[in-house]
Structure 1
Amino acid sequence: MLKKLIDKLYINNNLNEAELLFLLKNLDDDSRNYLIEKAYHTRLKSYGKTVFFRGLIEISNICSRNCFYCGIRAENKNVQRYRLSKEEILLSCEKGYQLGYKTFVLQGGEDAFFKDEVLVDIIKSIKIKYPENAITLSLGERSYESYKALYEAGADRYLLRHETANKALYHSLHPNMNFENRIQCLNNLKEIGYQIGAGFLIGLPNQTLNDFVQDLKFLKNLEPHMVGIGPFIPQKDTPLRYEKGGDAYTTITMLAIIRLLLPDVLLPATTALGTIDPESRNKAFKAGANVIMPNLSPFECRKKYALYDGKVFTNGEAAEEKKKIDENIRQAGFEPVMSRGDNIKWKRI
């Protein structure tokens, strides 16, 4: 029964809610291996054995939000706050360009300093110097007009994880935030023309298998160009510091299902996944992941961008270790690629 369901998912790239729930409730090692095998064949059809590199630049750990799971939440007084200047961001891009990176990911908290005019200037400066490079932004919720201004300045992609499709669970973890606004932001980004990225956390307190089903159906209906998922990892200075975190086994299972639901999606093997299990990145590639985002941020800032405890920022996470990362990817049977790595169905409008 399970293998028939997996075959149906592989052929149709879809299952209904009841089928997804049955699959998640009843997966054993044999059927999970079969699921991963089908996900691997699907990624081969869409992207071959390629693993796309993105250079991550964490531009600020200042944030106005108070998400209960996040180490850079506004009320955390133990964070050493920093904000990169335009010059520091451009220096990080220069370092990345010299290493061969063709995508820069500017990520940060919701920092009021980065108004539209500031970001527009930074984006245009990057595009003037590196016109062939893609720019991805991951800077939280903004207005339609703001997203449009940043797109017109040259930004190509925007990552905004929906975190959970369960509205009640979302509100329990995000004080003074609005679930409907989060979803509207994703719809606005897609309408403007970005390659959009959504995604959810694995192992949140009170999360159920049915919540995973709702996340998967949400992604299927949204059809984002990228999906970023990773395990919840408790951070010592947050309200959830004593909670149990997510696990690599479930995260990799979800990666495989997402690859089958969305065959053309760009699917990162995240730093959080590598943090809880050093071997999990290669397992993720074999389950359908095809993106890696090594860190280009100034070295002295990397420890300060502590969304969760134990974050790895050296070896396989450091952009400077590109040769080691390349070797590891090749030894796993995959091909490291430094192109822009756009979603195969996207064109800038």
Structure 2
Amino acid sequence: MIKTCEEEAKNKRIVKLINKLYIENDLRDDELLWLIDNIDDESKRYLFALSEDTRRIYYGKSVYLRGLIEFTNYCRRECKYCGINVFNKSVKRYRLSKKEILDTCIKGNELGFKTFVLQGGEDPYFTDKIICDIVTSIKKMIPDCAVTLSVGERSYDSYKTLKIAGVDRFLLRHETANEELYRWLHPYSYLHSRVECLKNLKSLGYQTGAGFMVGLPWYKSEDYVKDLRFLKNLQPEMVGIGPYITHEDTSMKNYKSGDLETTLLMLALIRLLLPKVLLPATTALGSISPDGRRRGIELGANVIMPNLTPVVNRGNYSIYNNKKISGSESAEALQMIKDDINSYGYYCDMGRGDSKMIY
């Protein structure tokens, strides 16, 4: 098909903006907006090739594996989209004991994991004292490991105490930079509180992870630009994004889930905006498409978190429906995961895998 002069000019501008982003690792907001609204499939392939090249420059072909331990599904928060929110009476609640957590870490260490991600709801039972005891015990057993926490919003003093105890990294997605939508999703909390927590984590020297959900209700291109600009300004060491996926036991059960293609586009843009960032191919990405994880890795994602949570509890950490909790997403299938990664042309790194942004 012969392109018109207008189409040729549009294509040239798309390529020009992609090249600028690749070289300068930034675009003006209006340029990002235009690119998101106008990029076509052919130009996406070019963008994805450059985002993968950027990952290769800083991380080579390494894909870092983290051992995920979902240690509590109790949560005090009211997040409308989440299957373990405080108002959901259908979920079967659980807490792992200190022994169960340590035993899981020992098993993970035997498998070769050197990073453990302790993820849970905002559970008041897990005070600073209890978490610090768990973290120091893990570090005593496995001195060369890294410990990541993902337990939500806490005070500056709490984050400081946890850092002193040995926590290396902290994951706290900002979820959306749209203040009005954030308030709708969280009727009893505010975006500025979440942002303050992220700033506190950065100031305390954590390797800090932020991120947003793709495909939230009423989301527009302008909202994605706000999210991307927020991340660029924050300069987190890790960015976790994935599609919003509905849960049948929430008030948002009838809303449409996010899609794969938009998520992949956002991953590629983040890789170019933050070239040294650690960028997971999330469980949600693999849950919405059988080839979601592979496609994420092929365009620049470089972290996977196999699930170490005891099998008896794994299905109860249900943030969204159809979460991938077995098969290639479980620790029992570690060799399958390694084989998959190798078949994509990459290799698994079981070490600490610290972010290049800290150097």
TM-score (norm 1): 0.99
Q: Corresponding residue for 2:73? A: 61
State the one-letter code of the partner of 1:164.
T
Match of 2:217 among 205, 215, 219: 205
| 1:160-179 equivalent positions in 2, closer than 5 A | 160-179=172-191
Matched, 1:331 2:343: yes
Contact 2:277 2:357 in 1 (8 A): no
- Measure, in 1, the Cα distance between the counterparts of 2:97 and 2:220: 42
Q: Corresponding residue for 1:88? A: 100
**How far off its partner does 1:287 sit?**
1.0
Matched, 1:245 2:257: yes
Q: Corresponding residue for 2:300? A: 288
- Measure, in 2, the Cα distance between the counterparts of 1:37 and 1:68: 36
- Measure, in 2, the Cα distance between the counterparts of 1:128 and 1:104: 14
Q: Corresponding residue for 1:180? A: 192
Greater Rg over alpha carbons, structure: 2
Contact 1:107 1:139 in 2 (8 A): yes
- Measure, in 2, the Cα distance between the counterparts of 1:92 and 1:274: 24
Q: Corresponding residue for 1:215? A: 227
Contact 1:9 1:261 in 2 (8 A): yes
Matched, 1:310 2:310: no
Contact 1:253 1:287 in 2 (8 A): no
Contact 1:105 1:135 in 2 (8 A): yes
| 1:1-349 equivalent positions in 2, closer than 5 A | 1-346=13-358
**How far off its partner does 1:26 sit?**
0.3
- Measure, in 2, the Cα distance between the counterparts of 1:130 and 1:245: 40
State the one-letter code of the partner of 1:12.
E
- Measure, in 1, the Cα distance between the counterparts of 2:124 and 2:174: 21
- Measure, in 2, the Cα distance between the counterparts of 1:176 and 1:244: 24
Contact 1:107 1:137 in 2 (8 A): yes
Gaps spanning 5+ residues in structure 2: where? 1-12
Give the 3-state SS of the residue equivalent to 2:189 in structure 1: coil
Give the 3-state SS of the residue equivalent to 1:345 in structure 2: helix
**How far off its partner does 1:346 sit?**
1.8
- Measure, in 2, the Cα distance between the counterparts of 1:260 and 1:156: 25
**How far off its partner does 1:345 sit?**
2.9
How many residue pairs match? The answer is: 347
> Where do 4+ consecutive residues of structure 1 move more than 4 Å?
none
Gaps spanning 5+ residues in structure 1: where? none
**How far off its partner does 1:178 sit?**
1.5
- Measure, in 1, the Cα distance between the counterparts of 2:291 and 2:99: 36
Contact 1:157 1:194 in 2 (8 A): yes
**How far off its partner does 1:278 sit?**
1.4
Point out the more displaced range, 313-322 or 145-154: 313-322
* 1:208-230 per-position Cα deviation (integer Å, ceiling 9, x unaligned): 11000000000000000000000
